[in-house]
Amino acid sequence: MLPKFDYFAPQTLQETFEQLENRGEDARVLAGGTDLIVALRAREVLPKNIIDIKEVKELHKLSYDENHGLNIGAAVTLNRLIHDARASGNFPVLIEAISTIADYQIRNRATLVGNICNASPAADSAPALLVLDATVNIASQEGKRSVPIQEFFAGVKKTSLARNELVTSVNVPTPPKGSVGSYLKARRTVGEDLCVVGVGGLAAPNGKTSKSLRLAYSSVAPTPVRAFEAEKIFESTRPLDHLLDEAMPIVRKAVSPISDVRGGREYRMNLVEVLTRRLVRRLWGGELDWRGIQ
């Protein structure tokens, strides 16, 4: 049985902002519901009001062009994104990451924007969005603002969103030409478990012999994190094994995993190293096995 609440389904963005303005202090936004309804049942959240945004047409928009990249509305489900040829063709790291979220039925309801607003440290979409330099578009009655994805996460289950604000969409710029990306995830079972460690990477050609690399992690810190310092090591033409050896202590400094039911701190630290080496070798090798998710 779920706790009692009042349900609102505004039809327009303006109505949604008004509802958030009036009831936002004691409200939760409902998109796919696959996190919110679980949290309600466990009484982890007890909002007086639930504001369902799925009646708002604009929030179902999914658009792509090369200059502006991919724009993902707040009500776009994971499966819609996964089966969109423009998304899978241009953003394989994102599609690979979100294909590992829960299972097929859940992905028919769950949304990408919901995955980041839930702000779990284990959010699988986050490392992909971090390496793709995504931007979060936020709006309220007072106006609009956009924040880089790494500034959006504020802590465990916390975002930088104010109570009267709504994430309307996420924008993902087209990655540099010739870049390759991949997401590796350690998990205990397929489908019904959260990530133990996730690592996303994007490598872009940098001149003829060198590459620039972006690396990001989930489940190893209070928020998903980009490893900016470690990335710099790879701007070099030295052999990859040397670069990896040099980068590992810096990667370890970028993360601060805890021990929990899914894995101990030391185990996670070890996974960070193993998965990073595997991922970067894969990105350097050119040939990528897209389905080879751990």
DSSP state of 25: G
CA–CA distance, 275 with 199 (Å, rounded to integer): 7
Judged by CB under 8 A, the stretch of 106-114, 122-130, 152-160, 266-274 that binds another protein is 106-114
Among candidate residues 224, 176, 180, 172, the one with its CA nearest the CA of residue 201: 180
Judged by CB under 8 A, the stretch of 28-36, 130-138, 247-255, 276-284 that binds another protein is 28-36
Among candidate residues 226, 265, 233, the one with its CA nearest the CA of residue 249: 233
Considering only residues 172 to 231 of the shown chain, the ones binding another protein according to CB under 8 A are 190-192
Q: Is 108 in the site for another protein (CB under 8 A)?
A: yes
Of 16, 23, 27, 33, which one interacts with another protein (CB under 8 A)?
33
Of 25, 26, 41, 48, which one interacts with another protein (CB under 8 A)?
41
Structure tokens at 103: 């299972």
Q: Is 54 in the site for another protein (CB under 8 A)?
A: yes
Q: Is 290 in the site for another protein (CB under 8 A)?
A: no
Contact letters for another protein, residues 55-94 (x by CB under 8 A): ------------------------x---------------
Helix, strand, coil percentages (3-state) for the chain, rounded to 5, are 35, 25, 40
Q: Determine which helix (DSSP H) or strand (DSSP E) holds 4, and give its type and residue range.
A: none
User: How far are the Cα atoms of 43, 44, 172, 223 from residue 38, in angstroms, in the given order?
Assistant: 9, 9, 29, 21
Pairing of strands 158-159, 153-155: antiparallel
Of 13, 45, 106, 258, which one interacts with another protein (CB under 8 A)?
106
Q: Is 38 in the site for another protein (CB under 8 A)?
A: yes
Question: For 174, phi and psi rounded to 5 degrees?
Answer: -65, 130
Q: Is 34 in the site for another protein (CB under 8 A)?
A: yes
Strand-pairing partners, residue 196, are none
Judged by CB under 8 A, the stretch of 36-44, 141-149, 234-242, 282-290 that binds another protein is 36-44
In terms of CB distance, is 111 or 179 closer to another protein?
Answer: 111
Q: Is 9 in the site for another protein (CB under 8 A)?
A: yes
Q: Please say whether the beta carbons of 217 and 224 come within 8 A.
A: yes
Q: Which amino acid is at 134?
A: A
| Residue ranges that bind another protein, judged by CB under 8 A | 1-7, 9, 30, 33-34, 37-38, 40-42, 50, 52, 54, 79, 102-106, 108-109, 190-192
